[in-house]
């Protein structure tokens, strides 16, 4: 189909374009390889990883987590792009080898289906891209915007994102458009209607048949494939590279040795025994792990993470999307030198995010949960906090009180360890030293021991354990803070000290080499943060335990008939704690309890993995909330009020306090905030009261 001169010119052009494209991709690969290694394996079970990545990519299930309309049009572009890999290959062959396989009109239905799909997807791709261009440039969807006080890379401030989006959009429409144009003029020159190509055939009729029309095919062929080659050179600098990098991100996500997925919010430990380590946390780009350097290239810049971020959605400076975007544009600026191993010129706090953003994060994990390409923005934030706290000593002054309390008294309140069991006065609560043959170790936690509101939950749980005749014990004064607030605030060393001591205490109390594994002792906790630390963090320090949240035990006891189903005449709603739900996938146990008997909950608009944070996580409980348009707990409390509920059921001491401290609690008909254990224990007390009353009569 092409002339000899055209074939030679195109071949040379293709070699040059692919060479420069190769250089761009090589710089990215070398830059990623320069990153730090991870604690968790990223290349084990490689076949299973690749298989899973292909399924996740081709199914687009992560894209359809949110924005169904936009996701629908994105599927046009994605599936069209995938098929166009084949189309472009055969178009190139057509130029050199007339009637190349699938282009052979004599191939019958197979060739016909190929031509139909090429015709069909051409239209769908243009429609999909047109939607996104309209959404960004005409409708100006606010979901794509950043808050005014969010730190943005200087190139972003100059409009680089819009420029890139426009270039990508025009390229795709032009590429596909010229391809349709080429097919149109080819059919026009051949003078026949191809039923398998209704769009191109209709346009060919409009153009008119004739031998001279073949020049149009040459123009269409050169422009369509020439644009592809030119774009390959631009690809490494464009956000469109996410098409290739997202599957890679899926492939190298964190896995355990057995190939199972690492829970969402588990952090990478620091080896404080390694004396060669000079940098704790992330100060510059080269301190990032390999996956954290890959993330900005996988990022589609869709802003979904910022839309669900509780800090961002209440007007604060933090934008998880801006973190990846800023990293990306800085790499675009420095990558020739960075790939050569040259030190990056400035610290991440100068261009990734500012102090206000850094300390606004609640570590709720919503950004990671919603990300369609597997970025881990929250992990970046905590790694940067580690540098700020341990290397520079720069953090909110309020956190110093919590740090000092954990260091000196074993709890963030700073209350003496000798007062840790005062909550149990008047109760016959056995300690491990008094009942070494326990089956369940009740980890009370700092909130459950010292905070008056949480103490109510602790006492309620004790009454439930005793009603169900559970053989339990507590550590009493031997229990210290798990270190969760310190770790999420970036004070990894303080966490390490507390956790190491706790692991030693727990191992001594729980591990019995002569005990049958089926009778292994379990840890019970009413705090999702304690649960997460004991279950997910402590194995990094040799503490491997069977841990259960109190809602799981209550559900278990209800199913065993040891606790009665609920009998409430008040309307309920349930707030999913981030560290119970998103971080550990425990959604059903609390609901099964609340929906038992004649009780039933009315779900808030945002629930389960889309639940909105209470605002306490990430050590926010110990500091003032950053300035914004609204308070996070107020927003969540209003959502609960919108259900018409009389009771907000909580499953976390910090969620309970935050919701109960909302300014909206003073409004008329505001619901009461109760822990699920309190609701269950209250019913047990009512039943017992009726029994006692009947005995008196």
The pLDDT, as a whole number, for residue 519 is: 66
Please state, in angstroms and as integers, the Cα–Cα distance from residue 282 to each residue in 52, 327, 431, 599, following that order. 30, 13, 42, 49
Across the range 617-641, mean pLDDT stands at 96
Same domain, 56 and 127: yes
Residue 635: Cβ-neighbour burial (10 angstroms; 0-12, 13-18, 19+): buried
Give 3-state DSSP helix, strand, coil % of the chain, rounded to 5. Answer: 60, 5, 35
Query: How many structural domains does the chain have?
Result: 3
Boundary-marking domain end, from 393, 422, 448:
393
Q: Outline where DSSP puts E strands in 499-600.
A: 522-525, 546-549, 572-574
The pLDDT, as a whole number, for residue 99 is: 65
Start-to-end C-alpha separation, the chain: 103
Same domain, 359 and 448: no
- The b-or-e profile of 600-625 (16+ CB within 10 A means b, else e) is ebeebebbebbbbbbbbbbbbbbbeb
Residue 518 reports pLDDT greater than 50:
no
Alpha-carbon span 297 to 306, nearest angstrom:
17
Domain assignment present for residue 171? The answer is: yes
Same domain, 403 and 544: yes
Residue 534's contacts (CB-CB under 8 Å, 6 or more residues apart) are 443, 482, 506, 523, 525, 543, 545, 547
pLDDT tens string 114-134: 999 999 999 999 999 999 999
Across the range 315-327, mean pLDDT stands at 97
Boundary-marking domain end, from 234, 251, 268:
251
Please state, in angstroms and as integers, the Cα–Cα distance from residue 165 to each residue in 170, 228, 245, 333, 615, following that order. 8, 16, 17, 18, 34
Domain assignment present for residue 267? The answer is: no
**Residue 431 backbone dihedrals phi, psi, to 5 degrees:** -95, 170
Torsion-angle region of 393 (φ positive above 0: left; ψ -120 to 50: alpha; else: beta): left
Same domain, 369 and 402: no
Q: Which of 395, 278, 254, 372 is nearest to 324 (CA)?
A: 372
Residue 517 reports pLDDT greater than 70:
no
Same domain, 348 and 453: no
Domain assignment present for residue 84? The answer is: yes
Confidence band for 105, pLDDT divided at 50, 70 and 90:
low
Residue 516's contacts (CB-CB under 8 Å, 6 or more residues apart) are none
Pairing of strands 546-549, 572-574: unpaired
Higher per-residue pLDDT: 193 or 503: 503
Assign residue 334 the CATH number of its domain: 1.10.1060.10
The pLDDT, as a whole number, for residue 568 is: 87
Same domain, 416 and 375: no
Is residue 649 classed as helix, strand or coil in its secondary structure?
A: strand
Same domain, 159 and 183: yes
Q: For residue 136, what are its two tokens?
A: 């960004």
Confidence band for 22, pLDDT divided at 50, 70 and 90:
very high
Same domain, 368 and 414: no
Residues in a beta bridge with 549: 525
Domain assignment present for residue 263? The answer is: no
Same domain, 340 and 241: no
The pLDDT, as a whole number, for residue 689 is: 79
Alpha-carbon span 495 to 488, nearest angstrom:
9
Residue 376 reports pLDDT greater than 50:
yes
Residue numbers of the domain that contains 66: 4-143+155-251
Alpha-carbon span 461 to 459, nearest angstrom:
5
Alpha-carbon span 673 to 490, nearest angstrom:
31
Domain assignment present for residue 272? The answer is: no
Average pLDDT, the chain: 93
Q: For residue 256, what are its two tokens?
A: 């355990």
Is residue 661 classed as helix, strand or coil in its secondary structure?
A: coil
Residues in a beta bridge with 440: 472, 522
Domain assignment present for residue 260? The answer is: no
Instruction: State which H helix or E strand residue 460 sits in.
Output: helix 452-467
Residues in a beta bridge with 431: 474
Boundary-marking domain end, from 225, 251, 277:
251
The pLDDT, as a whole number, for residue 418 is: 92
pLDDT tens string 62-75: 999 999 999 999 99
Same domain, 357 and 441: no
The pLDDT, as a whole number, for residue 277 is: 87
Residue 8 reports pLDDT greater than 80:
yes
Query: Is there a contact between 320 and 147 (Cβ–Cβ < 8 Å)?
Result: no
Residue 405 reports pLDDT greater than 60:
yes
Please state which of the ranges 94-108, 143-157, 389-403, 539-553 shows the lowest mean pLDDT: 94-108
Q: Which of 70, 235, 238 is nearest to 163 (CA)?
A: 238
The pLDDT, as a whole number, for residue 675 is: 97
| Per-residue H/E/C for 197-243 | CHHHHHHHHHHCCCHHHHHHHHHHHHHHHHHHHHHHHHHHHCHHHHH
Domain assignment present for residue 280? The answer is: no
pLDDT tens string 413-455: 999 999 999 999 999 999 999 998 999 999 999 999 999 999 9
Query: Is there a contact between 322 and 303 (Cβ–Cβ < 8 Å)?
Result: no
Domain assignment present for residue 262? The answer is: no
Local structure of residue 601 (DSSP, 8 states): B
pLDDT tens string 228-262: 999 999 999 999 999 999 999 999 999 999 999 99
Residue 170: Cβ-neighbour burial (10 angstroms; 0-12, 13-18, 19+): middle
Confidence band for 462, pLDDT divided at 50, 70 and 90:
very high
Residue 605's contacts (CB-CB under 8 Å, 6 or more residues apart) are 639, 642
Same domain, 235 and 126: yes
Confidence band for 514, pLDDT divided at 50, 70 and 90:
low
Same domain, 470 and 535: yes
The pLDDT, as a whole number, for residue 100 is: 59
Instruction: State which H helix or E strand residue 650 sits in.
Output: strand 647-650
Across the range 368-377, mean pLDDT stands at 96
Please state, in angstroms and as integers, the Cα–Cα distance from residue 180 to each residue in 114, 177, 188, following that order. 14, 5, 12
Query: Is there a contact between 288 and 282 (Cβ–Cβ < 8 Å)?
Result: yes
Residue 283 reports pLDDT greater than 60:
yes
Please state, in angstroms and as integers, the Cα–Cα distance from residue 652 to each residue in 308, 454, 561, 576, 602, following that order. 21, 9, 25, 9, 19
Confidence band for 102, pLDDT divided at 50, 70 and 90:
low
Share of the chain above pLDDT 90, in %: 87
Query: Is there a contact between 239 and 295 (Cβ–Cβ < 8 Å)?
Result: no
């Amino acid at each position: 189909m092409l002339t000899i001169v055209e074939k030679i010119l195109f071949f040379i052009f293709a070699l040059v374009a692919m060479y420069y494209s190769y250089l761009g991709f090589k710089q990215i690969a070398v830059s990623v390889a320069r990153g730090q290694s991870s604690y968790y394996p990223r290349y084990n079970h490689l076949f299973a990883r690749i298989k899973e990545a292909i399924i996740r990519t081709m199914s687009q299930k992560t894209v359809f987590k949110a924005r169904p309309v936009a996701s629908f049009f994105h599927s046009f572009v994605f599936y069209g792009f995938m098929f166009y890999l084949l189309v472009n290959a055969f178009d190139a062959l057509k130029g050199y080898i007339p009637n190349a396989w699938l282009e052979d009109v004599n191939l019958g239905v197979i060739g016909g289906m190929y031509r139909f799909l090429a015709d069909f997807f051409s239209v769908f791709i243009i429609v999909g891209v047109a939607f996104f261009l309209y959404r960004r440039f005409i409708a100006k969807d606010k979901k794509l915007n950043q808050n005014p006080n969010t730190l943005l890379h200087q190139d972003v401030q100059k409009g680089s994102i819009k420029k890139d989006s426009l270039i990508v959009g025009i390229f795709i429409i032009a590429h596909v458009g010229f391809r349709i144009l080429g097919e149109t003029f080819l059919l026009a020159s051949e003078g026949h209607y191809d039923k398998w190509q209704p769009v191109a055939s209709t346009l060919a009729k409009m153009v008119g048949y004739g031998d001279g029309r073949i020049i149009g095919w040459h123009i269409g062929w050169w422009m369509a494939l020439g644009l592809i080659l030119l774009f390959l050179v631009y690809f490494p600098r464009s956000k469109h590279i996410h098409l290739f990098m997202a599957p890679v991100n899926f492939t190298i996500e964190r896995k355990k040795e057995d190939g199972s997925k690492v829970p969402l919010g588990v952090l990478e430990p620091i080896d404080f025994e390694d004396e060669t380590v000079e940098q704790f946390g992330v100060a510059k780009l080269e301190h990032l792990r390999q996956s954290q350097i890959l993330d900005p290239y996988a990022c589609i810049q869709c802003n979904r993470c910022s839309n669900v971020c509780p800090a961002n959605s209440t007007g604060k400076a933090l934008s998880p999307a801006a973190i990846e975007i800023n990293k990306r544009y800085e790499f675009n600026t420095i990558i020739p030198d960075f790939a050569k191993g040259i030190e990056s010129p400035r610290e991440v706090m100068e261009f990734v995010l500012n102090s206000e953003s850094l300390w606004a994060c609640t570590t709720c994990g919503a950004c990671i949960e919603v990300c369609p390409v597997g970025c881990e923005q929250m992990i970046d934030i905590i790694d940067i906090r580690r540098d700020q706290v341990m290397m520079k000593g720069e953090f909110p002054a309020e956190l110093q009180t919590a740090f000092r309390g954990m260091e000196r008294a074993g709890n963030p309140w700073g209350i003496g360890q000798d007062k840790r069991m005062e909550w149990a006065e008047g109760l016959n609560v056995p300690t491990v030293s008094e009942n070494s043959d326990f089956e369940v170790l009740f980890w009370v936690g700092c909130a459950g021991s010292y905070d008056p509101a949480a103490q109510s939950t602790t006492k309620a749980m004790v009454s439930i354990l005793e009603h169900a005749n559970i053989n339990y014990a507590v550590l009493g004064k031997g229990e210290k803070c798990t270190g969760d607030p310190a770790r999420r605030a970036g004070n990894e060393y303080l966490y390490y000290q507390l956790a190491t001591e706790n692991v030693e205490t727990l191992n001594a109390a729980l591990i019995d080499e002569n005990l049958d594994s089926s009778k292994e002792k379990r840890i019970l906790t009413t705090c999702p943060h304690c649960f997460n630390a004991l279950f997910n963090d402590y194995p990094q320090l040799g503490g491997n335990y069977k841990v259960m949240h109190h809602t799981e035990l209550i559900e278990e006891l209800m199913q065993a008939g040891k606790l009665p189903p609920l009998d409430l005449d008040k309307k309920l709603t349930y707030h999913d704690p981030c560290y119970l739900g998103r971080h550990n996938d425990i959604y059903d146990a609390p609901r099964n309890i609340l929906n038992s008997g004649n009780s039933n909950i009315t779900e808030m608009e945002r629930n389960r993995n889309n639940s909105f944070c209470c605002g306490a996580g990430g050590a926010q409980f110990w500091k003032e909330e950053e300035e914004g348009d609204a308070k996070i707990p107020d927003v969540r409390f209003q959502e609960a009020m919108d259900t018409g509920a009389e009771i907000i059921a909580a499953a976390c001491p910090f969620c309970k306090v935050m919701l109960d401290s909302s300014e909206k609690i003073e409004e008329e008909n505001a619901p009461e905030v109760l822990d699920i254990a309190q609701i269950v224990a209250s019913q047990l007390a009512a039943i017992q009261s009726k029994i006692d009353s009947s005995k008196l009569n």
